[in-house]
Structure 1
Amino acid sequence: MMLRTGASRAMFRSLKASTVHPVRTSLSGSTSPVQWTSKLCSLSKKRPQPHIINQLTPIQAAVFQRTVTSTPWDKIDKKHEEKIANQKIEPTPETVSATSSIHPVLGEVATPEAEKDVDMMAGIKHDINTIKETFSLADVPRQAYTIGLAGVLPYLATSLSTVYCAWEINHATATGLGSILSPKTAEALLHVLEPLQIGYGAVIISFLGAIHWGLEWAGYGGYQGYKRYAIGVVAPAVAWPTILMPVEHALVTQFLAFTALYYVDTRATYIGWTPPWYNTYRFILTFIVGASIVVSLIGRGEVANRVGKVPSTVDRLVAFKDSAQETLAQEEEAIRAQKVKEDEGEEENSSDKE
């Protein structure tokens, strides 16, 4: 039972190794102390029994004795500690400054100090430069950029005019007088602007779809066939029915159409169907048009309860149908009355003859 300890097992392994190589152990004497120290490290903590120590060779016993009795490296030198404790620290105010005994909070000791002049606006400046580079469109041909921006100006103008007319109507409702336009004039102008904006939006959406037909005919990015032709067909098929919708529904539908078409154009640019600058160019134009639609919806919503609803095309068609039926009914009634008179006249003539 006494020999079933970790120290005894380590000792037996070392003894077995020395027995296998007796010449090297007894003659060379050059066995590495580190090797024996590693094998006998547990002996310094768990002392073996005396009869086990007696079985060691002289070299093993010497190594073991040196391992047990050697001075540890972390032994405290009390004399040196007392000498340092009794030393008096001399003041040196000329070497002390506001930063001589501090270091950055997020840094490590002995690391160089952070730069003193840190630009706190660097992130914002970077974002502003990114926006400038995006809106500058340096890679876009100047003619396309200029004409494209000019093309969205009518859409933006109708949107701002809608907001102005709504303001005039609200101002007249609050004060009783209009600023420049009378309430009736502002309302009439508003009814003219709404179909103009919707019709112009349908034209723009159709034009954006037709661009893909031109790219297909030019063979840009290869000939894609029906996949690219479908873009030019679906765009006007979605755009033109909006002129038959109420104003709010038409504007929302066109907003969704512009957004979906921008996504399609972005994907087309990514796969090489359009020039590399086309998606950025479309982003600027779509942003302006989308903002115009939102502004128009806001202006229209401010006067929704104060402005009469302008009859849409469908309403006009229904009214025309109803009026036509009414007119036809009146004509038939007149024909019947005329026929009745003629019959009565014939009866009178026949009775007179008799």
Structure 2
Amino acid sequence: MHPFNASRPPGLAIGLAMAGLLPFVTGALGLWVIPEGWRIWVMEELMSFAAVMLAFMGALHWGLAMRADESSRDAPVQLGLSVIPPLLGWLALSLPIDLAVPLFFFAFAALYYADIWAVRHGLAPAWYTTLRKPFSLVAVGSMAVAWAATLVKG
């Protein structure tokens, strides 16, 4: 088990997080280079993956809150925060693409700030923001690239 107060994330977590960025990057960039007939499918797959990732990252907060002391005032907030990302992902999947993409953009950005809050309150490992920062930047950047593709390419 990796120490909760370690400054560096576990190597396996870094590798898996980087692998999790592949669908974001390939999907967002693919929207610019693939034939028009494939664009809707790629966008739907990118949105589906984004929703899954929001649910996964929300679930991490649920798990972290469950290990908190019963007297913790912050754990109930973290439990609440854990259900917001999957609900936003679910909502985004029901919206038109031109509304869904910006919702994902802002959801991933807001989730990163929730991660920072959790670390500062001792609810997440000290190394968690070190792991999450590059993931968040790429996820938000990919959503921005996809958003631009919807505006330019239609």
TM-score bin, normalised by smaller chain: 0.7 to 0.9
Q: Match of 2:4?
A: none
* Structure 2 counterparts to residues 47-196 of structure 1, below 5 A: 139-165=8-34, 186-196=35-45
Matched, 1:244 2:94: yes
Superposition CA RMSD, Å: 1.5
Maintained 8 Å contact 2:8/2:130: no
Aligned positions, number: 145
Q: Match of 1:257?
A: 107
Cα distance, 1:300 vs. partner?
Answer: 2.6
Q: Match of 2:76?
A: 226
Segments of 5+ residues of structure 2 without an aligned counterpart are 1-6
Identity of aligned residues (%): 27
AA aligned opposite 2:113 = Y
AA aligned opposite 2:52 = V
* Correspondence for 2:49 among 170, 188, 200: 200
Cα distance, 1:277 vs. partner?
Answer: 1.1
Q: Aligned with 1:272: secondary structure?
A: coil
Cα distance, 1:196 vs. partner?
Answer: 0.7
AA aligned opposite 1:143 = L
Q: Aligned with 1:190: secondary structure?
A: helix
Maintained 8 Å contact 2:93/2:100: yes
Q: TM-score, normalised by structure 2?
A: 0.87
Maintained 8 Å contact 1:163/1:300: no
Q: Give CA-to-partner distance per residue, 1:115-166, whole Å, 9 cap, x none.
A: xxxxxxxxxxxxxxxxxxxxxxx7111010000110121111111110112x
Q: Is the helix fraction higher in 1 or 2?
A: 2
Q: Match of 1:290?
A: 140
Cα distance, 1:213 vs. partner?
Answer: 1.3
AA aligned opposite 2:21 = V
Segments of 5+ residues of structure 1 without an aligned counterpart are 1-137, 166-185, 305-354
Cα distance, 1:280 vs. partner?
Answer: 2.1
